[in-house]
Amino acid sequence: MLTPRVSRAPRRKLISVAAISATLLSGTATAVVLAGPAAAGTLAAEAAAPAASSLVPAERLIVGYKSTAAEAKSNSAASADAEAKGREAGEDLDFQRRLGTGAALVDLGEKLSKAEVADVIAEYQEDPQVAYVVPDRLNRPLADPNDTEYSKQWDLFEATAGMRVPGAWSTATGSGVTVAVIDTGYVTHSDLAANVVAGHDFISDTAVSVDGNGRDSNPADPGDWYATDECGTGTGSSDSSWHGTHVAGTIAAVTNNSKGVAGIAYNAKISPLRVLGKCGGYDSDIIDAITWASGGTVSGVPANSNVAKVINMSLGGSGSCTSATQSAINAAVNRGTTVVVAAGNSNANAANYSPASCNNVISVAATNRSGSKASYSNYGSVVDIAAPGGQTSTGTANGILSTLNSGAQGPSTESYEYYQGTSMAAPHIAGLAALMKSASSSLTPAQIESAIKTNARALPGTCSGGCGAGLADATKTVQAVSGSGGSGGTTYTSTTAVSIPDAGSAVESPITVSGRTGNAPSALQVGVDITHTYRGDLVIDLVAPDGSTYRLKSSSSSDSADNVATTYTVNASSETANGTWKLRVQDVAAQDTGRINSWKLTF
């Protein structure tokens, strides 16, 4: 007995462009004759158009009829023709609508194999009233930003050790997200100004503030230069760094404005909070800035109208995280703000530096242009992730280019300069966090951290001492949290809770997939929601119907965060789609328990 077709639901199918082109080229001579409003070009041009890959996402066909055909003028005729050709091909075709050119958009029904698509195409090509038939292909923005210095931003796009940012922009650009840059403040720059919103100056000590007063609503950076030994014997002298402006540019420089550099989350907003001045800044000011940025109340400071969902702190000092700083961070995270910090630049264990060693932060090490740990970067088990930080000792252009000012002491003309440091690496992750929050506003700080780490790639180079989960991959991470990384289609979900025994045997949660044809996609999305008080204990595998296993997560003694709430991408194209899939989870260490709350497969 034939199984009745289910009602249509939104989906996206993969159609072989090569197969379609071959069918088109083998069509009858009448098929290459184009006339009337539906004739957008020659069939030969359509058939010979190069494909970016052998498979492109599509779910419909565009059919152009000759102007003399009834189907070129009548929607009912085009609909009847689609149904008739579907019957001939053994498929369920459906006329959707008329395009502006007069062509008909025809839905392919259920997901079809390459052979089935070829059969449908052949039916249309055998009709002398059909001028052309082509796939309704999915397109994405391909153009690079037109910013004049973008070609120098290797950290965003280079294949070897870039953070793969451009591929994320088709999904998210940071819209709706404010990032607080807790730093030296902001010096006016035309390549950043449109994305700057109100912040605050939290420096209370006038000797540090340089601007002649204490706390106020003006976070302008007057310069942090100091004379020889002014900051202590042996400290030498230094010109103003304009550090906060450089950091802010990496996160959200205005993009596609034919000027300067591109920001990672270029539609996000920057709230500059000034805590660093001459010779540095105090914990007390930083703690208040963290509190205020995340929507907390600070005595004597007006309520924050630009509450940040991401905080960047490219700052630090020696000594482990204090209870005072940790308390402020915990409160910020509890309010829903993700806190990103620099690991430090002493080529030492980050556990001995703050805020790098604080809990509930994303601690970021720096990599160089070859993808190895930068020579100066801190390392260790408290590091969560690595990102490009540059290394100018191997050439100035191997640093990170961003917005700056040319003034040696006070502000002068705006400029762009290459810097290096974990201070440059951290804003890469803050920008990525903003993209993620823009793509999926419900993400918690824990989910953002988990997804960044889960979707990282192995360091292209080396890191002695530990650089976290690897080199952050913006495209893969944003696709994972937005669900855009797969081929789309039906989602199968299990909501049956399964307890995970402490240091016990693996447990499994099944999902039965049916009604599909062919194999699973090459970008099968596996969404996981697991509660656990020390997720580093967990090993997670996807088990295919034939028993093949795909490692989603390995155990890690350094990952002390709670819970696993993320989406993994698996190349399951060798597996038959139908059958019972299982999520297998094992707790490999003692003292913590958890449960599988739910998980899902999206085909």
Say whether 528 sits in a helix, a strand or coil: strand
Nearest alpha carbon to residue 309 among 176, 481, 428: 176
User: What's the CA gap between 64 and 27, in Å, rounded?
Assistant: 15
Q: Quick check: is 423 catalytic?
A: yes
Tell me the two tokens of residue 98: 């008329």
Q: Which of 16, 423, 482, 509 is catalytic?
A: 423
Residue 432's Cβ-side half-sphere holds a number of Cα atoms within 13 Å equal to 39
Structure tokens at 490: 């039906």
Q: Which residues pair with 180 in a beta bridge?
A: 271, 311
Assess contact for 434 and 311: CB atoms under 8 A.
no
Backbone angles phi, psi at 498, to 5 degrees: -130, 120
Q: How far apart are CA 101 and CA 81, in angstroms?
A: 18
Least Cα distance to 376 among 346, 413, 336 occurs for 346
Pick the catalytic residue from 189, 200, 243, 428. 243
Please confirm, yes or no, whether 183 is among the known catalytic residues: yes
Neighbours of 229 (CB within 10 A): 11
List, as one string, the DSSP characters of 94-126.
EEEEE-TTSPEEEE--S---HHHHHHHHHHHHT
Specify burial of residue 278 (Cβ count, 10 A radius: 0-12, 13-18, 19+): buried
List Cβ neighbours of 45 (8 Å cut-off, separation of 6 or more): none
Residue 3: CA count within 13 A, CB half-sphere: 8
Which positions ≥6 away from 381 have C-beta within 8 Å? 351, 466, 557, 558
Structure tokens at 529: 């929601």
CA torsion angle 397 280 321 454 (round to 10): -20
Instruction: Pick the catalytic residue from 183, 211, 473, 592.
Output: 183
Q: Which residues contact 380 (CB under 8 A, 6 or more apart)?
A: 343, 349, 350, 351, 465, 466
Task: List Cβ neighbours of 385 (8 Å cut-off, separation of 6 or more).
Answer: 362, 363, 364, 365, 429, 452, 453, 456, 467, 468, 469, 470, 471, 472
Q: The tokens of 102 are what?
A: 């007069």
Active-site amino acid positions:
183, 243, 423
